[in-house]
């Protein structure tokens, strides 16, 4: 294995620039891959580190400074990402989570993938007299360790790993090792995360993978497919559009948001499967995750205008995005014992062309178990 340390608090290491490519390592692959690390300059993104993997087919932009978020993923004309009104990769030092009644997180919200947690996630509000801010802290904590590795044996998986620590005195001692990996020449990539409780006492935690999709995958006529048992609307706005949960409309100024709480089913391997594709069915993204790791799934439909952030969030999680005080009532706030850990794995694949998309639609449909139950009442369970 070829190994490089890009950032280490423990060893006082920080490389502002670094690169490695197929020219440097003689691997048994024809893919022209590369990895580079660089630092953004100017504005609110000044000092933000980015690690970019080009595997010869996919380009992934990882942001260690923002909790190992993924800014975007590209395969030719296909992009995983969205056009947020926030135009920079904002450094966490400019984010005040308590602002605007606890939704200051939104001032830096521009990534394709923003991890939410770890002590809590979901809507802001009081829990035992304490203000919990929107979607937690982990997405605005810089990684204290960042390492890159390339397997010298086939299939030569490329990994970028970062440690993000959420610790405070008399509070949680949670650490996330977040890993993004891909194989040279592949159209897929994988998230493989580990959350550990380093406290000597039991600790509640939550994890929500807030993946956000805009054009070109999102447009009028785009469709979502999934292996789903039941769907419950988050609020009255969602209840009004429950029957059309699987389709998307065109961008419209001041269109109401709609959130649907979904209960996935699993295949024989224990995995749940989802697919989003555009109206023409010639580009899409599919993803799968282990249901026992991430038993709940949230669909956020924000069909506002393009300038105001036309986007859908497709979010596997340990619970739904209610405030923790609500989630706890329905036994959706897991706990970690002293020294215990939990692993979370999600695999994504980008589909280019009608044949690839049609094959994936058929595959997901074949794994669906019966008709999806639509629960019209707004209940948090």
Inside any domain, residue 347: yes
* Span 264-277, pLDDT tens digits: 999 999 999 999 99
Question: CA-CA distance, 197 to 341, in Å (whole number)?
Answer: 6
- Write the DSSP string, 188-225: EEEEEEEEEE-SSS-EE-EEEEEEEE-TTT-STT-EEE
137 with 166: CB under 8 angstroms?
yes
Dist. CA 132–CA 118, nearest whole Å:
12
Write down the pLDDT at residue 369: 86
* Angstrom distances, CA of residue 137 to CA of 78, 103, 178, 206, 344: 30, 11, 15, 11, 18
Say if residue 1's pLDDT is above 90.
no
Question: pLDDT-derived band of residue 334, with 50, 70 and 90 as boundaries?
Answer: very high
Q: What are phi and psi of 72, to 5 degrees?
A: -165, 165
Burial of residue 142, with CB atoms counted within 10 A of its CB: 0-12 exposed, 13-18 middle, 19 or more buried: buried
Q: Does 286 fall in a domain?
A: yes
83: domain CATH number is 2.70.98.10
What is the rounded CA–CA span in Å between residue 371 and residue 381? 19
> Residue 238 phi/psi, 5° resolution?
-70, -40
Answer whether 180's CB lies under 8 Å from 52's CB. Answer: no
Angle at 138 between CA 137 and CA 144, to 5 degrees: 125
Per-residue burial over 52-64, b = 16 or more CB atoms within 10 Å of its CB, e = otherwise = bbbbbbbbbbbbb
CA 190 to CA 211: how far, in whole Å? 13
Residue 56 lies inside a defined structural domain of this protein? yes
Is it the case that residue 233 has pLDDT exceeding 90?
A: yes
Where residue 353 falls (left for φ over 0; alpha for ψ -120 to 50; beta otherwise) is left
Q: What is the pLDDT of residue 44?
A: 98
Q: Is 357 helix (H, G, I), strand (E, B) or coil?
A: helix
**Distance between CA atoms of 1 and 146, rounded to whole angstroms?**
16
Average pLDDT, the chain: 96
Q: Does residue 295 lie within any of the structural domains?
A: yes
Beta bridge partners of 51: 37, 62
381 domain-assigned: no
Query: Which DSSP state fits 243?
Result: G
| Residue 262, both tokens | 């979904």
Confidence of residue 378 (pLDDT cuts 50, 70, 90): confident
Residue 221 has pLDDT above 90, yes or no: yes
Given a contact cutoff of 8 angstroms between Cβ atoms, the answer to whether 54 and 34 are in contact is yes
The band of 380, judged by pLDDT with boundaries at 50, 70 and 90, is low
- The domain in which residue 279 lies consists of 2-374
Q: What is the pLDDT of residues 355-375, one digit of tens each?
A: 999 999 999 999 998 899 999
Cα–Cα distance, 254 to 299 (Å, whole number):
19
The reply to whether 380 falls in a domain is no
Residue closest to 95 by CA, chosen among 44, 166, 143, 164:
44
At 356 the three-state DSSP class reads helix
pLDDT at residue 119 is higher than 60:
yes
Q: How many domains does the chain have?
A: 1
Residue 333 lies in a domain: yes
pLDDT per position as a tens digit, 47-91? 999 999 999 999 999 999 999 999 999 999 999 999 999 999 999
Q: Is residue 53 part of a domain?
A: yes
């Amino acid at each position: 294995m070829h190994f490089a340390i890009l950032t280490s608090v423990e060893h006082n290491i920080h490389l502002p620039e670094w690169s490695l490519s197929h020219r440097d390592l003689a691997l048994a692959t024809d893919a022209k891959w590369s990895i580079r690390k660089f630092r953004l300059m100017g504005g609110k993104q000044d000092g933000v580190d980015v690690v970019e993997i080009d595997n010869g087919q996919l380009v992934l932009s990882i942001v260690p400074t923002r909790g190992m978020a993924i800014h975007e993923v590209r395969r030719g004309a296909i992009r995983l990402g969205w056009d947020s009104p926030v135009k920079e990769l904002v450094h966490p030092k400019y984010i005040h989570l308590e602002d605007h009644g606890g939704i200051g997180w939104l001032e830096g919200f521009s990534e394709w993938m923003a991890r939410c947690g770890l002590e809590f996630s979901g809507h802001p509000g009081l829990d035992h007299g304490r203000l919990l801010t929107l979607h937690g802290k982990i997405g605005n904590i810089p990684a204290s360790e960042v390492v890159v590795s390339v397997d010298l044996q086939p299939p030569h998986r490329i990994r970028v790993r970062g440690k993000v620590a959420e610790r405070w005195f008399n509070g949680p001692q949670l650490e996330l090792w977040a890993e993004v990996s891909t194989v040279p020449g592949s159209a897929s990539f994988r998230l493989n995360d580990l959350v550990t409780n380093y406290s000597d006492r039991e600790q509640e935690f939550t994890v929500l993978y807030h993946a956000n999709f805009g054009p070109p995958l999102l447009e009028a006529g785009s469709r979502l497919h999934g292996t789903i048992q039941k769907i419950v609307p988050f609020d009255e706005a969602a209840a009004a559009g429950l029957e059309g949960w699987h389709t998307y409309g065109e961008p419209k100024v001041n269109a109401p948001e709609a959130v649907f709480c979904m209960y996935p089913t699993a295949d024989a391997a224990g995995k749940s499967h989802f697919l989003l594709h555009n109206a023409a069915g010639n580009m899409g993204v599919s993803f799968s995750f282990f249901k026992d790791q991430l038993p709940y799934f949230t669909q956020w439909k924000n069909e506002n205008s393009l300038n105001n952030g036309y986007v859908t969030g497709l979010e596997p999680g340990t619970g739904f995005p209610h405030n923790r005080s609500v989630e706890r009532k329905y036994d959706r706030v897991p706990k970690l014992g002293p020294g215990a850990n939990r692993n979370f794995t999600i695999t994504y694949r980008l589909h280019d062309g009608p044949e690839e998309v049609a094959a994936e639609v058929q595959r997901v449909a074949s794994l669906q178990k019966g008709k999806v139950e639509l629960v019209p009442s707004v209940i948090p369970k």
